[in-house]
Structure 1
Amino acid sequence: MSELWDALRLQTAARIGLGRTGDSLPTTRVLEFAAAHAAARDAVHQPLDVDALVADVAAVGLGDPLVVTSKAGDRSEYLRRPDLGREPENLESVSETDADVGFVLADGLSPIALSEHGAGMLSALKDVLAPRYSLAPPVIATQARVALGDHIGAAQKVGTLIVIIGERPGLSVADSVGIYLTHLPTPGRADSMRNCISNIHPPGGLGYADAARVCAALVEGARKLGRSGFELKDNSRALT
């Protein structure tokens, strides 16, 4: 029976077939769970290394990134007050671009994920979008929720905004990023007016190139439809 569970565990990150030792789980499985829980907590609380990310994003070649922060004063307040994470502290450094597509890299609930995957994901997006659209200089946002991007996109006057954000860590993955796409970003946009691509964390999750391909199809669809959200469907496979 153990061989059966060993084979099944290779197909999923879920904790299955853990076994028993008396009336409890084996010590190894308990320790694995504790380590995963600690990794998830660390991912939430560890602050973003802004200087390192600025250097990585600048190397992508879309211009020197601006850095903005939300009204959440620190990580503790950010976690207790989601509303403050949706509002910018100051956008004086953000200027109008009138670009077709803008980018915000937000720490979200996993700054570790953004550090590991933010620049790589941005580079893949640049590769598929630059031949067709004008791209705004990227913005790095700290203590940020997704909706903070609406303020940035509106200030830049971009047609479509792409937010790359650290996703809420779980007990199987603590370093996953997601993409949220909003056409004609405006403060107050409902979440139903966005499209999401999640679980981006190669090699175990969705890869950068595949995520960029889906995102490019959504950008094209949003520009044709005139809006994003629940009415916009992923047709990237059909386009391929």
Structure 2
Amino acid sequence: METPKFKFDGGFIMVPWDQFEEAIEWYRENMGWRLIGTGDGPVGRKAFFKMPGTGQANLKSFESELDHFTSKEYSEGNCRFCFRTANLDWTLEYFDNLGIECTSPRKMPDQTRSADIIAFGNVRLTLSEDRKLEGKFPESRVIQYAAKPLWLGVSDLEASINWYGRILGWEQSKKNFQDRGFALMRETWDSVWLEKVNVERSPKKANPGARLYFRIKKQEDLHKTNEWLKEQGIEASDIVGDRWKGFHFYDPDGNRLNVWSYY
């Protein structure tokens, strides 16, 4: 088959099964998100929030019997799922006052600023500042997905540019950030940061709590994509779910990439 079309489509923030109700309240209150529904199904518990800008945020319970949703060998690794905030300093001050761990702001190659917070259940979320949104959603700390929703650390920048181009069909941006240790890759509409980091030769595979997903529209194509990745020698999990289906696979540095399809 041709290189599959991987389109960014949101994701899951994972939480412990026995703390699910507590997690719903934490995200509703501290993010400023509106709960629009919950559900239980073959792949566990879910909660759905409308973010104040655009998009939907989803909580998902860990499920120990499903490899795709297990909390076993939990590791954030170098995968960052990024969200947008209007004023990063104000947002970090809010979380710091609650005793929530935050990192210092970091200037990105495009001159925006980003920082991590350790959210409910020790999940790392990355916040990207967009001052154009300032004042529009005064009751919300986290407004929508970032313009560059995925940020991945890689050991070899050039090799990763080639891998993501070959496997996911992404193109490198015309703006060259490699002198700053970054590359900007583009899928259909959204962008992905690749950053050169020090990664062990045999990296531990990431099993993070904040998991960005790419959508394959047709479930028939989801199965074909899973098979195609395995034919390329890429480690991919088995597909789980029924009406909703999903799986994950890894890049050469152990970064976890997630795929889903639904009717």
What TM-score, normalized to structure 2? 0.22
Greater relative contact order (CA < 8 Å, ≥ 6 in sequence): 2
Question: Which is strand-richer, 1 or 2?
Answer: 2
TM score, norm. by length of structure 1: 0.23
- Structure number with greater Rg is 1
**Structure in which a larger fraction of residues adopt helix:** 1
